[in-house]
């Protein structure tokens, strides 16, 4: 069985909480003690049915202050798949939350209110999903019960959305007409929309293709730790511990260590009492090489047949996540997989108005701003372009004064 991680994008008014609640409730993912609390609640829908949005209710700190605190994770499973929902609520910090949730997801659900169609918020959500490179998008056109389950309304929104998808470069978009409140096409196929021949949302989530690229040319393993027991018996043991983030390594493969550039051959791949002929994307392993070269945390093992870029000057998209604006004169830390070094944002090329998709020429980079920048790093980074290989194409910026994560970077090009 596989795990599908998805994010839901939409505001409270779009029925996002109700949709998640419905998905959990109708797939029997809610246990008796939680259900009891649900029935006990005073909050009910207008028709007296239980308000499923309660299932995504937040913390006391949130209720007291009327705020929402970033991403909550929810878990459920069916006979076919396991699911992790990154529920990213929030109005003020929406961009930051959604970027965080989307970075770890295979799929995004974008909610559209059938009465309103494609609105500014839809543009923003779609832009962010595209920026973070999510391979799959489901557009749920919700509140179909409020528009008389109209096929024409659905078709019009699909047409409008396809124009938007073209602009922001989203492929693999699936459209599903739903009513989260009434349960139409969430888990069970709806009797109210015979004109819709597609799958229910859950059915789609259970079957959508989420396999990852295992191309050997993209083999990348950032070294996290060197295993050196230094006992008498294991005097010469030297294993490089890390997670294969993309591609695959086989025993006898030629590999290069970056940024040093030394090459060697894989002699053994192991983990505790198991040995493997091949380590594929996602596996955590310990790798042995033929030659005794100086490798430490922060280095990366890559396939000698397909090397990443190595540069200290990189063009990247930046999402700013801190209340203190970007300071181009300040030296920050950058963390790219296991590599930590210092950096400076050398130049802001432009920002995006994420509601209109226009470029904006404004140097000031504030909370939730997104734009294209050039970054200079103290040590060279061995990276891939985010659009080619997400797993080795993203990094975070850490403020050296506060130690807080203040920015997310998606590498777009090495600057010559």
Partner 1 sequence: MSKHQLDYLDELEAEAIHILREVAGQFERPALLFSGGKDSITLVRLAEKAFRPGKFPFPLVHIDTGHNFPETIQYRDEMVARLGEKLIIGHVQDSIDQGKVVEQKGKNASRNALQTVTLLDTIAHYEFDACIGGARRDEEKARAKERIFSVRDEFGQWDPKRQRPELWNIYNGKIHKGENVRVFPISNWTELDVWNYIRRENIALPSIYFAHQRDVITRNGQLMAAADFLNMDEEDVIERRTVRFRTVGDMTCTAAVASEAFEIDDIIDEISTSKISERGARMDDKVSEAAMEDRKKGGYF
Q: Within positions 305 to 364, which residues make up the interface with partner 1, using CB under 8 A?
A: 321, 333, 335-338
Restricted to residues 363-392, the positions that interact with partner 1 (CB under 8 A) are: 390-391
* Number of residues located near partner 1, criterion CB under 8 A: 71
Q: Which is nearer to partner 1, 25 or 161 (CB)?
A: 25
Q: Which is nearer to partner 1, 309 or 322 (CB)?
A: 322
Q: How far is CA 389 from CA 185, 220, 281, 379, 381, in A?
A: 34, 10, 12, 21, 15
User: How many CA within 13 A on the CB side of residue 65?
Assistant: 9
Q: Is residue 96 at the binding interface for partner 1, with CB under 8 A as the rule? A: yes
Q: Is residue 403 at the binding interface for partner 1, with CB under 8 A as the rule? A: yes
Q: Is residue 33 at the binding interface for partner 1, with CB under 8 A as the rule? A: yes
Q: Is residue 45 at the binding interface for partner 1, with CB under 8 A as the rule? A: no
Written as six digits, the tokens of 161 are 């959305």
Restricted to residues 233-262, the positions that interact with partner 1 (CB under 8 A) are: 234, 237, 241-243, 245, 248
Q: Which is nearer to partner 1, 17 or 142 (CB)?
A: 17
Q: Which is nearer to partner 1, 4 or 193 (CB)?
A: 4
Q: Is residue 11 at the binding interface for partner 1, with CB under 8 A as the rule? A: no
CB 216 within 8 A of CB 247: yes
Restricted to residues 75-94, the positions that interact with partner 1 (CB under 8 A) are: 75, 77, 82, 84
What sections of 27-65 are H helices per DSSP?
A: 32-40, 60-65
Written as six digits, the tokens of 157 are 């929104």
| String marking each residue 257-296 x if it binds partner 1 according to CB under 8 A | --------------xx-------xxxxx------------
Q: Is residue 130 at the binding interface for partner 1, with CB under 8 A as the rule? A: no
Q: Which helix (H) or strand (E) holds 205?
A: helix 201-207
Compute the C-alpha angle 216/388/219, nearest 5°.
Answer: 20
CB of residue 247 vs partner 1: minimum separation in angstroms?
Answer: 10
Residue 60 DSSP one-character state: H
SS3 50: strand
The only residue of 50, 147, 210, 367 in contact with partner 1, by rule CB under 8 A: 210
Q: Is residue 228 at the binding interface for partner 1, with CB under 8 A as the rule? A: yes
CB of residue 100 vs partner 1: minimum separation in angstroms?
Answer: 4
Q: Is residue 57 at the binding interface for partner 1, with CB under 8 A as the rule? A: yes
Nearest to 139 by CA among 156, 157, 127, 115: 157
CB of residue 175 vs partner 1: minimum separation in angstroms?
Answer: 25
The only residue of 100, 190, 256, 377 in contact with partner 1, by rule CB under 8 A: 100
Using the Cα atoms of residue 28, residue 32, residue 38 and residue 40 in order, give the sign of their dihedral. Answer: positive
Q: Which is nearer to partner 1, 238 or 307 (CB)?
A: 238
**Non-local CB neighbours of 406 within 8 Å, separated by 6+ positions:** 320, 321, 322, 324, 326, 332, 397, 398, 399
Q: Cα 1 to the chain's mean position, in Å? A: 20
Nearest to 176 by CA among 230, 146, 147, 137: 137
């Amino acid at each position: 069985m596989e795990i599908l991680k998805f994010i839901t994008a939409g505001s409270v008014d779009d029925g996002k909480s109700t949709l998640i609640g419905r998905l959990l409730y109708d797939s029997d993912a809610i246990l008796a003690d939680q259900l009891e609390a649900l029935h006990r609640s005073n909050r009910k829908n207008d028709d007296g049915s239980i308000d499923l949005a309660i299932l995504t209710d937040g913390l006391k700190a949130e209720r007291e202050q009327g705020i929402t605190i970033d991403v909550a994770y929810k878990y459920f499973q069916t006979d076919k798949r396991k699911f992790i929902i990154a529920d990213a609520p929030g109005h003020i910090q929406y961009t930051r939350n959604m970027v965080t949730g989307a970075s770890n997801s295979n799929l995004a659900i974008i909610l559209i209110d059938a009465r309103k169609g494609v609105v500014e918020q839809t543009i923003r959500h779609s832009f962010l999903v595209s920026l973070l490179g999510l391979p799959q998008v489901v557009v749920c056109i919700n509140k179909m019960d409020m528009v008389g389950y109209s096929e024409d309304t659905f078709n019009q929104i699909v047409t409008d959305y396809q124009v938007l998808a073209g602009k922001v470069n989203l492929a693999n978009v699936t459209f599903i007409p739903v009513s989260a409140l009434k349960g139409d096409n969430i888990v069970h196929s709806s009797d109210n929309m015979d004109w819709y021949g597609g799958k229910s949302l859950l059915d789609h989530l259970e079957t959508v293709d989420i396999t990852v690229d295992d191309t050997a040319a993209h083999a990348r393993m950032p070294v996290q730790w060197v295993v050196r027991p230094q006992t008498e018996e294991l005097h010469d043991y030297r294993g490089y511990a890390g997670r294969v983030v993309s591609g695959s390594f086989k025993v006898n493969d030629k590999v290069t260590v970056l940024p040093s550039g030394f090459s060697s051959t894989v002699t053994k791949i192991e983990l505790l009492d198991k040995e493997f002929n091949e380590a594929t994307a996602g596996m955590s392993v310990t790798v042995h090489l033929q030659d005794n070269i100086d490798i430490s945390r922060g280095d990366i093992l890559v396939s000698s047949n397909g090397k990443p870029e190595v540069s200290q000057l990189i063009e990247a998209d930046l999402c700013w996540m801190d209340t203190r604006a970007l300071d181009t004169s300040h030296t920050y830390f950058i963390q790219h997989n296991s590599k930590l070094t210092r950096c400076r944002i050398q130049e802001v090329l432009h920002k995006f108005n994420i509601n209109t998709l226009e470029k904006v020429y404004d140097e000031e980079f504030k909370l939730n701003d997104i734009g294209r920048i050039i970054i200079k790093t103290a040590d060279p980074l061995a990276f891939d372009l985010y659009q080619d290989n997400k797993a080795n194409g993203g990094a975070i910026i850490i403020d050296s004064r506060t130690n807080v994560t203040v920015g997310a970077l998606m590498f777009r090009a090495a600057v010559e």
